Structure 1
């Protein structure tokens, strides 16, 4: 290849690079920014920031915690659903726990999804004064899971199932001097509580439903985090559960709280997509404004 041809190719490539840099790196972002400043789009482009008293208090698109400095829920406010994003609702750490339905056995330094749900249910129930019992949860707020150890069936439809238990361990309940397992016996075998230095993985894992109602009083969104960890809304059922507690702390009636909740509840998109949702921040701001207004 002649030197002149090589130079022409490089000059053409450099010219294309400069033109695309100006268009894609300058003109296009500027055009998008100018469009975002149009009436009706400006607030959304700036993060849908919510103002109260002339000060930013949050975003309508990103949830937040309503807790004291030590993490204790503030009882006068509607509480958001759990968040696994950083320390909670951190936009720079949006994530889920990546724990699924098969996460039922606690690790030494990490509770299973089942135990997280059980513990949260107990905490929410204590705050709101309701029954926190859930299927497959112990009264102590951990997953009700047994490791059943013994000979297994090697054929047929029950292959892999322990046929004659010789030892049964409640795997999520550590032993202490006063610990008693959530279940006394299983198929005639005394249930033990787990010891931290023992491995029970050879046993068959058996979740125990227990006596709790199949429809728990504490709603699902009160004990599970959203996929993004940033969901700003909760279900009407969870909001309604909190109404009596909020009314008691604020010295108003539960009907007044429920009226505010209803005013900030959105129905299904287009009437059929998704589920109704309550805007937590909007409700809390309205409740504060109601107090200030007398």
Structure 2
């Protein structure tokens, strides 16, 4: 019997492996997973956990949050607002750009806008939290104050100059996040008058000193209302944030707060396995339920 050359035998073996793997992983496996995805109970998650609006069209996924704002980024008062998002530009919640701001606890000094160009302004994490807390407070008509925040919604941080660099006699104090001609949140520090900051000026020689202020230790505006999730796509808000928004939504929907809170309860999930995580309210599900049950008049 004539034996095939070694090189030909090796090529034929390689071809058989390619054919078997192509059939298995390229055809049988995808078909099997597709069939499994149509099993009752798995079909909806396999399609992305889609949610449909009052007209029957797909409006989003129960797994991905979205903003409920107008074309200018202003909150639509008839809807529960989501937590902030750092995913993508604009209002965030871009599923193709999942991510966080990557700013940490030491991010307390802003890069002020120069030449009246708002695109050059880079807020610190502290100022982002402060401005969001003020905005929520204004929207819900509650106290939006927070420790280490000024009344105008920026980080309450002084830049202190000492004779010895980091110690000694105070010679100059600047409110680092309040651009001139703003009035500094604090008139003086250790006997030295506080001045506003000049955009573009180098304050790197100053020692940043956050000032706590007299805001309550437990702010009215909850933490998830002012901080983004790690993915930037979190669809849930805390029950505390939902409860804070219920009076406004009830007014806009011309119904009672109790009726709105009953809908909140139907969209609230508890801790995973009873011990992991925290209870959460799915914002998109809740707003869709509102549209179906209490449609806004004139909308």
* TM-score, length-scaled by structure 2: 0.89
Q: Is the 8 A contact 1:148 1:162 kept in 2?
A: no
User: How far apart are residue 251 of structure 1 and its match?
Assistant: 1.5
The answer to whether structure 1 residue 106 and structure 2 residue 107 are counterparts is no
1:238 matches 2:250: no
Q: Could you state the TM-score of these two structures normalised by the residue count of structure 1? A: 0.91
Structure 1: which 4+ aligned runs deviate by more than 3 Å? none
Aligned: 1:263 with 2:269: no
**CA contact under 8 A between 1:162 and 1:204: conserved in structure 2?**
no
The offset of 1:123, in angstroms, is 0.9
1:24 maps onto 2:22 in alignment: no
For residue 66 of structure 1, the aligned residue among 60, 65, 68 is 68
| Cα shift readout 1:18-76 (whole Å, capped 9, x = no counterpart) | 32232223221221111111111011000000123422122111111111222211101
Partner Cα separation in structure 2 for residue 23 and residue 287 of structure 1 = 47
SS at match of 1:93: coil
1:131 aligned onto 2:143: yes
* Separation of aligned partners in 2, 1:148 and 1:293: 52
Find the aligned partners of 2:72 and 2:14 in 1 and give their Cα distance.
59
User: Deviation of residue 17 (structure 1)?
Assistant: 2.7
Q: CA deviation at 1:248?
A: 1.3
Which residue is equivalent to 2:168? 163
Alignment map for 1:241-252 (pairs within 5 Å):
241-252=244-255
SS of the counterpart of 1:31? helix
Counterpart of 1:41 in structure 2 is: 42
Contact 1:146 1:207 in 2 (8 A): yes
Tell me, yes or no, if the aligned pair for 1:63 and 1:231 is still in contact at 8 Å. yes
Cα deviation, residue 195, structure 1: 0.8
1:148-207 deviation per Cα after TM superposition (whole angstroms, max 9, x unaligned): 11134xxxxxxx84232111111111112xx21111111111111111121111111111
Unaligned runs of 5+ in 2: 113-119
Q: Secondary structure at the match of 1:97?
A: coil
Match of 1:272, SS? coil
Q: Where does structure 1 lack aligned partners over 5 or more consecutive residues?
A: 153-159
Residues of 2 paired with 1:165 and 1:25: CA distance?
72
Deviation at 1:270, TM superposition (A): 1.7
SS in 1 for 2:178: strand
Q: Given that residues 255 and 294 in structure 2 are in contact (C-alpha distance below 8 angstroms), is that contact kept between their aligned partners in structure 1?
A: no
Counterpart of 1:116?
Answer: 128
Partner of 1:92, secondary structure, is: coil
Name the SS for the 2:287 alignment partner.
Answer: helix
Change (3 A) 1:97 1:256: same
Q: Using the alignment, how far apart are the partners of 2:257 and 2:278 within structure 1?
A: 24
* Higher mean C-alpha deviation, range 7-16 or range 256-265: 7-16
CA root-mean-square deviation: 1.9
Q: Distance in 1 between matches of 2:69 and 2:128?
A: 19
What's 2:97 paired with?
93
CA distance in 2, matches of 1:187, 1:194: 18
Q: Secondary structure at the match of 1:167?
A: strand
Q: May I ask how many residue pairs the two structures share in their alignment?
A: 283
